[in-house]
Amino acid sequence: MTEPKRTTSAERLSNFSPGPAVLPVEVIEQIQAELLTLPGVGSSILEISHRSPAFDRILEETVAELRGLLGIGDSHDILFLQGGASLQFSMVPMNLLRGSGRTGDYVVTGTWGATAIKEARKEGQVHVAWDGAATRHDRLPPAADVRLSADPAYVHVTSNETIQGVQWQVDPDFGPAPLVCDASSDFLSRPLDMSRYGLLYACAQKNAGIAGVTVVVIRRDLLDRSPDGLPAMLDYRTHATNGSRANTPPVFAIYVLGLVCRWVRTAMGGLEGMARHNAAKAKVLYDVLDASEGFYAGHAQPECRSKMNVTFRLPSEELEKAFVTGAVRRGLVDLKGHRSVGGIRASIYNAMPMAGVESLRDHMLEFRAAHARSGPAGQSGAASSPARDG
C-alpha cells in the first residue's frame, strides 16, 4: 500500500451537499480516534460481529439515544433497516396497504413524495390527497385543500422536500388515520410530536449520519397490519422481532448514527437546541434573499421555507454558473441545485456550522454587489420571469 496521507480539519471545505452530507467534526474525530480498536474491545468497529457484546451495547445505546431525543417510550419500535428511504416507498405500502382493502393517501409536496406514490401504486389503491405540481411544488397545501379518502389505511407526507426546499413547519395533523412521514432530510433537526406519527422513516445520510442505515419508527399496533406472505426482509415484523438483527445490519452506519445522536444531545442542546441553531442558520440566508430585490429568488413560498435546503434562482443560468464557480473558490462546495428545480441549493443540515453559512452569506452579498446591475436581471422583476422556470 502507499503511505497514507494525513489530512487535518483545516483542509475541510464547507460542504453544502444535499446528501450524503456534512458530519459534525467532533463525530469524525471520535470515529478517527476509535477506528483501530473500539476502546476496550481490541477490534475495529469495521470488524466486529453484529452479535458481539460490543455491538449489543452500541445498538442499545443508539436506540436509547433516539428514544430520548424523540421522547418516545414503548408505544413505538425503532428499526434499523437497509435499502435507503427509497425502499420505504415500497415497504410502507407493502405492509400497511397490500390486502387492506383501503386506500393509501398521499400529500405530495415535492419530488420525493411523488416518487413515494409511484411505488405505492404498485401495491394497492392510492389517492392523491393534494399535489403541489401546478405551482412546481413551491408550497404546502392549505388545510382545507387536502382531500382525504373515506377511511385511508394511512396518510403519507414528506416533512421536508429536499429538492424543492419546502418543509412542513409543524407536525401535520390529518385526523385519525396513521400518519406516515418521510423525514429523511430533516430528521433530528427539531423536536417532533411523535404521538402524531404512526410511522416515520429517515435515511441517515442527510442529517443523522452516513448512508447504509434507515431509521424506521413504527407504532407497535401497526405491526399487526402486515399481511402474511411478504418476503421476510420486507416485513417490518421480521425486524421488530429480531431487534434489527434478522440479518447483518450496517454496523458502522449504526455506530455513526449513535455518535450523531449523542452529539445532538450533549453538544447541541437536544432537539430544541438543534432547532434553534438550524433556525438561526436558515434566517441568515433567507434574510439575504429577502433583501436582494429579487436578485436571489427563492423557490419555496416564504411561509413554508425549509430550514435544511435553501433553494433559489439567480437572474440567469450564466450567473448561476458563475455563482457556483465563485463559491468553490471560497471553499463552498456542492451548491448547484437539483436539475429539476435549477439554480442553487444550499443544504445546511444539523452539522453545517454557522461559520459555513456566514461564508455563504458573504459570497451572496459580494456576488450580488458585483453582478446585480450588469446582467439583464439588474432590473427588478426579471427574477420572477417565467422564462427562467423549468
Ligand X SMILES: *Cc1c(COP(=O)(O)O)cnc(C)c1O
List interacting residues with ligand X (CB under 6 A): 19, 84-86, 112, 158, 162, 182, 184-185, 203, 206
Cβ closest to ligand X, residue 203 vs residue 383: 203
Can you give the C-alpha Rg of the chain in angstroms? 22
Cα separation values, 30 from 97, 214, 249, 378, Å? 42, 22, 21, 48
Q: What's the min distance (Å) between Cβ of 278 and ligand X?
A: 16
Residues with active-site annotation: 112, 182, 206
152 with 103: CB under 8 angstroms?
yes
Amino acid at residue number 145: D
Cβ closest to ligand X, residue 38 vs residue 155: 155
Cβ closest to ligand X, residue 196 vs residue 330: 196
Q: What's the min distance (Å) between Cβ of 171 and ligand X?
A: 16
Cβ closest to ligand X, residue 249 vs residue 294: 249
304 with 333: CB under 8 angstroms?
no
Q: What's the min distance (Å) between Cβ of 101 and ligand X?
A: 28
What is the CB neighbour count within 10 angstroms for residue 305?
23
Cβ closest to ligand X, residue 158 vs residue 292: 158
CA distance 33 to 289: 41
Report angle CA 131, 136, 137 to the nearest 5 degrees: 50
Q: What's the min distance (Å) between Cβ of 252 and ligand X?
A: 16
Q: What's the min distance (Å) between Cβ of 140 and ligand X?
A: 15
The answer to whether the peptide bond before residue 20 is cis (omega within 30 degrees of 0) is yes
Ranked by CB distance to ligand X, the top (closest) residue is 84
Q: Could you tell me the three cell numbers for 204?
A: 441517515
228 with 237: CB under 8 angstroms?
no
Q: Could you tell me the three cell numbers for 66?
A: 433516539
